[in-house]
Copies of this chain bind each other. A is one copy, B any other.
Amino acid sequence: MTRRSAELRLDALLRTACDVIAERGLGNTRTADVAQAAGVSQALVFYHFATKERLLAQAFAYAAEQDLARLDAVVNSSASPLDKLKKILKLYAPTGRSKSWTMWIDGWSEALRVPELEKVSRRLDLRWKEALTEVIRDGVAGGAFKCEDPGGAAWRINALIDGLAVQVAVHERVISRRQLADWVRLSVSRELGVEPEQLA
């Protein structure tokens, strides 16, 4: 155990906690697990986090912020709406039994009972929808997309991906990632009046 500043240690613990949560699930993560994974005494965990609940909630938020940072990078880039759309779809769609997706599915379930997690989960979900809405609006304004209700379209696209991602993440092998991507492209192309091939 090398000694570190509180800030560094906190960050390292949160990072480790994310890994442990992704592997064991929010409900089955024990403080001792996180401590062990971080190579640290269990007491240290309580030195930095008052309760287990706080640790989990902060770790969850930490992971969410990382995802959102990647999203913002795309939205704030100078790419065309079509390119941004493609990048967002790529970020959002699950890759393998994605660490992120297992965490969000877990998060939804916990959020049913833990208000603090519900807040984080809601913020994350809404942010994706806003980002997508914005890109669609820009695309419509620039003539790249045709869509009467960008907000609604964004919701439907997000919901479709969520639903398909759950199936891929939870029920391995019922559909392939390729199938998921194809169906998403098809629906998006219909919503925005573009050809599916343009989204590849």
| Interfacial residues, chain A to chain B (CB-CB below 8 A) | 24-25, 27-28, 102, 105-106, 108-113, 118, 121-122, 125-126, 152, 155-156, 158-164, 166-167, 169-171, 174-175, 183, 186-187, 190
Least Cβ–Cβ distance between A144 and chain B, in angstroms? 21
Which of B105, B112, B118, B164 interacts with A112 by CB under 8 Å? B105
Given contacts A25-B113, A190-B190, contact A155 B164 (CB under 8 A): yes
Q: Is the interface of A mostly helix, strand, loop or mixed?
A: helix
This protein's copies in its complex: 2
With CB as the reference atom, state the residue of chain B lying closest to A108: B170
Q: Can you give 21 A-B contacts (C-beta < 8 A)?
A: A24-B113, A25-B109, A102-B112, A105-B112, A106-B112, A108-B170, A109-B110, A112-B170, A118-B170, A118-B171, A121-B171, A155-B164, A155-B183, A156-B160, A156-B183, A158-B163, A159-B161, A159-B167, A161-B163, A162-B162, A163-B163
Chain B residues closer than 8 Å to A108, beta-carbon distance: 105, 108-109, 166, 170
- Return the 4 tightest CB-CB contacts between A and B, nearest first: A159-B163, A162-B163, A109-B109, A163-B163
Structural contact, B109 and A167, CB atoms closer than 8 A: no
Least Cβ–Cβ distance between A18 and chain B, in angstroms? 16
Least Cβ–Cβ distance between A30 and chain B, in angstroms? 13
